[in-house]
A and B are shown apart, each in its own frame.
Chain A
Protein backbone atom coordinates (compact mmCIF):
# COMPACT_ATOMS: atom_id res chain seq x y z
CA UNK A 1 0.00 0.00 0.00
CA UNK A 2 2.76 2.42 0.97
CA UNK A 3 4.76 1.63 -2.14
CA UNK A 4 1.74 1.86 -4.37
CA UNK A 5 0.83 5.23 -2.92
CA UNK A 6 4.35 6.48 -3.43
CA UNK A 7 4.52 5.32 -7.04
CA UNK A 8 1.18 6.88 -7.74
CA UNK A 9 2.37 10.19 -6.34
CA UNK A 10 5.54 10.15 -8.40
CA UNK A 11 3.64 9.41 -11.55
CA UNK A 12 1.05 12.09 -10.85
CA UNK A 13 3.76 14.68 -10.25
CA UNK A 14 5.51 13.76 -13.50
CA UNK A 15 2.28 14.07 -15.44
CA UNK A 16 1.53 17.41 -13.85
CA UNK A 17 4.90 18.72 -14.97
CA UNK A 18 4.66 17.20 -18.44
CA UNK A 19 1.36 18.73 -19.36
CA UNK A 20 1.65 21.94 -17.44
CA UNK A 21 2.24 23.86 -20.63
CA UNK A 22 -0.70 22.57 -22.62
CA UNK A 23 -3.37 25.27 -22.72
CA UNK A 24 -6.24 23.39 -24.25
CA UNK A 25 -9.13 25.62 -23.33
CA UNK A 26 -11.58 27.01 -25.77
CA UNK A 27 -13.17 30.41 -25.42
CA UNK A 28 -16.49 30.33 -23.64
CA UNK A 29 -19.98 31.45 -24.52
CA UNK A 30 -20.65 35.15 -24.31
CA UNK A 31 -22.53 34.84 -21.03
CA UNK A 32 -19.65 33.28 -19.16
CA UNK A 33 -16.87 35.26 -17.64
CA UNK A 34 -14.83 32.09 -17.19
CA UNK A 35 -11.51 33.57 -16.11
CA UNK A 36 -9.28 31.82 -18.66
CA UNK A 37 -6.19 33.92 -18.01
CA UNK A 38 -6.31 33.15 -14.30
CA UNK A 39 -7.02 29.45 -14.68
CA UNK A 40 -4.25 29.02 -17.24
CA UNK A 41 -1.67 30.97 -15.21
CA UNK A 42 1.17 28.71 -14.12
CA UNK A 43 2.42 30.55 -11.05
CA UNK A 44 0.59 31.74 -7.95
CA UNK A 45 1.61 35.35 -8.56
CA UNK A 46 0.43 35.30 -12.15
CA UNK A 47 -2.87 33.70 -11.13
CA UNK A 48 -3.44 36.30 -8.40
CA UNK A 49 -2.61 39.11 -10.81
CA UNK A 50 -5.06 37.75 -13.36
CA UNK A 51 -7.82 37.39 -10.78
CA UNK A 52 -7.35 40.87 -9.35
CA UNK A 53 -6.85 42.47 -12.74
CA UNK A 54 -3.50 43.72 -11.50
CA UNK A 55 -5.00 45.61 -8.57
CA UNK A 56 -3.01 45.52 -5.33
CA UNK A 57 -3.87 42.73 -2.90
CA UNK A 58 -3.69 43.37 0.85
CA UNK A 59 -3.11 40.68 3.45
CA UNK A 60 -6.16 40.52 5.66
CA UNK A 61 -6.89 38.76 8.92
CA UNK A 62 -10.59 39.45 8.32
CA UNK A 63 -10.61 36.39 6.09
CA UNK A 64 -10.81 33.15 8.02
CA UNK A 65 -9.34 30.33 5.98
CA UNK A 66 -9.48 26.84 7.40
CA UNK A 67 -7.65 23.90 5.89
CA UNK A 68 -5.99 20.88 7.44
CA UNK A 69 -2.36 21.34 8.48
CA UNK A 70 -1.62 17.99 6.95
CA UNK A 71 -3.45 16.36 4.08
CA UNK A 72 -2.79 12.69 3.44
CA UNK A 73 -4.25 12.87 -0.04
CA UNK A 74 -3.86 15.97 -2.20
CA UNK A 75 -6.65 14.83 -4.47
CA UNK A 76 -9.25 16.12 -2.05
CA UNK A 77 -8.51 18.74 0.57
CA UNK A 78 -11.38 20.47 2.41
CA UNK A 79 -11.20 24.25 2.61
CA UNK A 80 -13.51 26.64 4.48
CA UNK A 81 -13.49 30.38 3.90
CA UNK A 82 -15.33 33.04 5.88
CA UNK A 83 -14.91 36.65 4.84
CA UNK A 84 -15.62 39.27 7.48
CA UNK A 85 -14.91 42.05 5.01
CA UNK A 86 -18.05 44.12 4.35
CA UNK A 87 -19.19 44.12 0.75
CA UNK A 88 -17.55 40.81 -0.16
CA UNK A 89 -18.44 40.09 -3.77
CA UNK A 90 -16.19 37.22 -4.72
CA UNK A 91 -14.03 34.55 -3.13
CA UNK A 92 -11.34 32.79 -5.15
CA UNK A 93 -9.36 29.75 -4.08
CA UNK A 94 -5.80 29.01 -5.15
CA UNK A 95 -3.16 26.40 -4.38
CA UNK A 96 0.46 27.49 -4.65
CA UNK A 97 1.99 24.21 -5.78
CA UNK A 98 -0.52 23.21 -8.44
CA UNK A 99 0.60 23.35 -12.07
CA UNK A 100 -2.27 25.85 -12.48
CA UNK A 101 -2.74 27.52 -9.08
CA UNK A 102 -6.13 29.23 -9.61
CA UNK A 103 -8.91 26.77 -8.78
CA UNK A 104 -12.19 28.63 -8.53
CA UNK A 105 -13.87 31.97 -8.25
CA UNK A 106 -17.22 32.20 -6.48
CA UNK A 107 -19.33 35.28 -7.10
CA UNK A 108 -21.65 36.12 -4.26
CA UNK A 109 -24.78 38.19 -3.88
CA UNK A 110 -25.98 39.72 -0.62
CA UNK A 111 -28.50 36.86 -0.38
CA UNK A 112 -25.76 34.50 0.79
CA UNK A 113 -23.34 34.72 3.69
CA UNK A 114 -19.78 35.50 2.61
CA UNK A 115 -18.63 32.03 3.52
CA UNK A 116 -18.26 28.72 1.77
CA UNK A 117 -16.69 25.31 1.95
CA UNK A 118 -15.33 23.28 -0.92
CA UNK A 119 -12.78 20.60 -1.70
CA UNK A 120 -9.73 21.26 -3.82
CA UNK A 121 -6.86 19.35 -5.36
CA UNK A 122 -3.38 20.16 -4.11
CA UNK A 123 -0.30 19.30 -6.13
CA UNK A 124 2.04 19.41 -3.15
CA UNK A 125 2.91 21.04 0.14
CA UNK A 126 2.36 24.76 -0.05
CA UNK A 127 -0.02 27.58 0.61
CA UNK A 128 -3.72 27.57 0.01
CA UNK A 129 -4.81 31.12 -0.72
CA UNK A 130 -8.22 32.75 -0.44
CA UNK A 131 -8.60 35.95 -2.45
CA UNK A 132 -11.56 38.15 -1.56
CA UNK A 133 -12.95 41.01 -3.60
CA UNK A 134 -14.92 43.58 -1.64
CA UNK A 135 -16.00 47.00 -2.90
CA UNK A 136 -13.54 46.73 -5.76
CA UNK A 137 -10.55 46.00 -3.53
CA UNK A 138 -8.70 42.75 -3.10
CA UNK A 139 -7.65 41.00 0.08
CA UNK A 140 -6.05 37.66 0.70
CA UNK A 141 -4.96 35.25 3.34
CA UNK A 142 -3.21 31.92 3.14
CA UNK A 143 -2.50 28.76 5.08
CA UNK A 144 0.19 26.20 4.60
CA UNK A 145 -0.93 22.64 4.05
CA UNK A 146 1.50 19.77 4.16
CA UNK A 147 0.48 17.33 1.46
CA UNK A 148 1.69 13.73 1.75
CA UNK A 149 0.59 12.64 -1.72
CA UNK A 150 0.03 15.28 -4.39
CA UNK A 151 -3.26 15.16 -6.20
CA UNK A 152 -2.88 16.85 -9.58
Chain B
Protein backbone atom coordinates (compact mmCIF):
# COMPACT_ATOMS: atom_id res chain seq x y z
CA UNK B 1 0.00 0.00 0.00
CA UNK B 2 1.00 3.57 -0.46
CA UNK B 3 2.07 5.31 2.66
CA UNK B 4 3.42 8.66 3.74
CA UNK B 5 6.98 7.37 3.95
CA UNK B 6 6.90 5.86 0.50
CA UNK B 7 10.16 5.82 -1.42
CA UNK B 8 8.02 6.26 -4.52
CA UNK B 9 6.95 9.65 -5.76
CA UNK B 10 3.84 10.91 -7.46
CA UNK B 11 2.95 14.40 -8.58
CA UNK B 12 -0.50 15.26 -9.81
CA UNK B 13 -0.80 18.69 -11.30
CA UNK B 14 -4.03 20.22 -12.61
CA UNK B 15 -3.79 21.56 -16.11
CA UNK B 16 -6.83 22.96 -17.93
CA UNK B 17 -9.34 20.74 -16.21
CA UNK B 18 -7.14 17.68 -16.56
CA UNK B 19 -4.10 16.48 -14.69
CA UNK B 20 -0.51 15.81 -15.56
CA UNK B 21 0.67 12.85 -13.53
CA UNK B 22 4.32 12.01 -12.99
CA UNK B 23 5.54 9.02 -11.08
CA UNK B 24 9.03 8.01 -10.07
CA UNK B 25 9.28 4.53 -8.57
CA UNK B 26 12.09 2.90 -6.68
CA UNK B 27 12.84 -0.43 -8.33
CA UNK B 28 16.10 -2.09 -9.48
CA UNK B 29 14.67 -3.26 -12.83
CA UNK B 30 17.40 -5.89 -13.10
CA UNK B 31 17.81 -7.34 -16.58
CA UNK B 32 19.19 -10.63 -15.33
CA UNK B 33 22.43 -10.03 -17.22
CA UNK B 34 24.42 -8.01 -14.68
CA UNK B 35 26.95 -9.63 -12.43
CA UNK B 36 27.64 -8.67 -8.86
CA UNK B 37 30.96 -6.82 -8.99
CA UNK B 38 32.23 -8.54 -5.84
CA UNK B 39 30.98 -12.11 -6.09
CA UNK B 40 30.76 -12.38 -9.88
CA UNK B 41 27.37 -14.02 -9.47
CA UNK B 42 24.69 -13.04 -11.98
CA UNK B 43 22.00 -10.88 -10.42
CA UNK B 44 18.61 -12.46 -11.14
CA UNK B 45 16.13 -10.71 -13.36
CA UNK B 46 13.88 -8.51 -11.23
CA UNK B 47 11.50 -6.07 -12.86
CA UNK B 48 8.03 -4.55 -12.71
CA UNK B 49 5.81 -6.60 -14.99
CA UNK B 50 2.52 -4.89 -14.66
CA UNK B 51 1.44 -1.42 -13.61
CA UNK B 52 -2.03 0.07 -13.26
CA UNK B 53 -3.04 3.70 -13.23
CA UNK B 54 -6.34 4.61 -11.55
CA UNK B 55 -8.39 7.75 -11.26
CA UNK B 56 -10.85 7.63 -8.34
CA UNK B 57 -10.61 3.84 -8.39
CA UNK B 58 -11.25 3.52 -12.11
CA UNK B 59 -8.44 2.18 -14.27
CA UNK B 60 -7.48 4.73 -16.92
CA UNK B 61 -4.29 3.10 -18.17
CA UNK B 62 -2.30 -0.08 -17.61
CA UNK B 63 1.02 -1.27 -18.86
CA UNK B 64 3.04 -4.40 -19.22
CA UNK B 65 6.77 -3.93 -18.93
CA UNK B 66 9.88 -5.91 -19.61
CA UNK B 67 13.21 -5.54 -17.80
CA UNK B 68 14.15 -3.04 -20.52
CA UNK B 69 12.48 -0.14 -18.76
CA UNK B 70 14.99 2.00 -16.87
CA UNK B 71 16.04 1.60 -13.27
CA UNK B 72 13.75 3.56 -10.93
CA UNK B 73 11.05 3.93 -13.56
CA UNK B 74 9.59 7.27 -14.49
CA UNK B 75 6.27 7.69 -16.27
CA UNK B 76 4.24 10.75 -17.04
CA UNK B 77 0.80 10.90 -18.62
CA UNK B 78 -2.27 13.10 -18.74
CA UNK B 79 -5.77 12.43 -17.42
CA UNK B 80 -8.26 14.43 -19.44
CA UNK B 81 -10.77 15.46 -16.78
CA UNK B 82 -10.32 15.77 -13.05
CA UNK B 83 -11.70 17.72 -10.12
CA UNK B 84 -9.83 19.01 -7.10
CA UNK B 85 -9.55 16.24 -4.53
CA UNK B 86 -9.67 13.41 -7.07
CA UNK B 87 -7.27 10.60 -6.26
CA UNK B 88 -4.76 9.13 -8.66
CA UNK B 89 -3.39 5.78 -7.58
CA UNK B 90 -0.70 3.76 -9.28
CA UNK B 91 -0.01 0.17 -8.30
CA UNK B 92 2.33 -2.40 -9.72
CA UNK B 93 3.57 -5.97 -9.35
CA UNK B 94 7.01 -7.27 -10.14
CA UNK B 95 8.12 -10.68 -11.37
CA UNK B 96 8.77 -11.82 -7.79
CA UNK B 97 5.13 -11.14 -7.00
CA UNK B 98 5.86 -8.07 -4.88
CA UNK B 99 3.26 -5.30 -5.18
CA UNK B 100 3.40 -1.70 -4.15
CA UNK B 101 1.45 1.47 -4.79
CA UNK B 102 1.58 5.21 -4.58
CA UNK B 103 -1.21 7.75 -4.67
CA UNK B 104 -1.73 11.45 -4.86
CA UNK B 105 -4.62 13.88 -5.02
CA UNK B 106 -5.48 16.58 -7.49
CA UNK B 107 -4.67 19.87 -5.81
CA UNK B 108 -6.15 23.26 -6.55
CA UNK B 109 -4.52 24.66 -9.65
CA UNK B 110 -2.43 27.21 -7.78
CA UNK B 111 0.62 24.96 -7.57
CA UNK B 112 3.75 25.72 -9.52
CA UNK B 113 4.71 23.19 -12.12
CA UNK B 114 7.31 20.96 -10.56
CA UNK B 115 9.38 17.92 -11.23
CA UNK B 116 9.05 14.60 -9.56
Interface set of A (CB-CB < 8 Å, partner B): 11-12, 15-16, 18-20, 22, 24-26, 28, 32-35, 39, 75-78, 95, 98-113, 115-121, 151-152
Q: Report chain A residues within 8 Å CB of B80.
A: 110-113
Q: Report whether A104 and B64 are in contact in the complex, using a CB–CB cutoff of 8 Å.
A: yes
Interface residues on B, range: 35 or more
Q: Report whether B50 and A77 are in contact in the complex, using a CB–CB cutoff of 8 Å.
A: no
| Bound complex: CA A75 to CA B72 (Å) | 11
Does B109 lie at the interface of the complex (its beta carbon under 8 Å from any beta carbon of A)? no
Does B32 lie at the interface of the complex (its beta carbon under 8 Å from any beta carbon of A)? yes
Which residue of chain B has the shortest Cβ distance to A80 in the bound complex? B76
Q: Report whether A32 and B50 are in contact in the complex, using a CB–CB cutoff of 8 Å.
A: yes
| Bound complex: CA A140 to CA B42 (Å) | 35
Q: With both chains docked as a complex, state the minimum distance between the C-beta of A115 and any C-beta of chain B, in angstroms.
A: 6
Q: Report chain B residues within 8 Å CB of A75.
A: 70-71
Which residue of chain B has the shortest Cβ distance to A14 in the bound complex? B33
| Bound complex: CA A22 to CA B25 (Å) | 27
Which residue of chain B has the shortest Cβ distance to A113 in the bound complex? B78
Does B79 lie at the interface of the complex (its beta carbon under 8 Å from any beta carbon of A)? yes
Q: Report chain B residues within 8 Å CB of A119.
A: 69-70, 73-74
Q: Mark B40-75, 1 if CB is under 8 A from A, else 0.
A: 001001000110010100111111111111110111
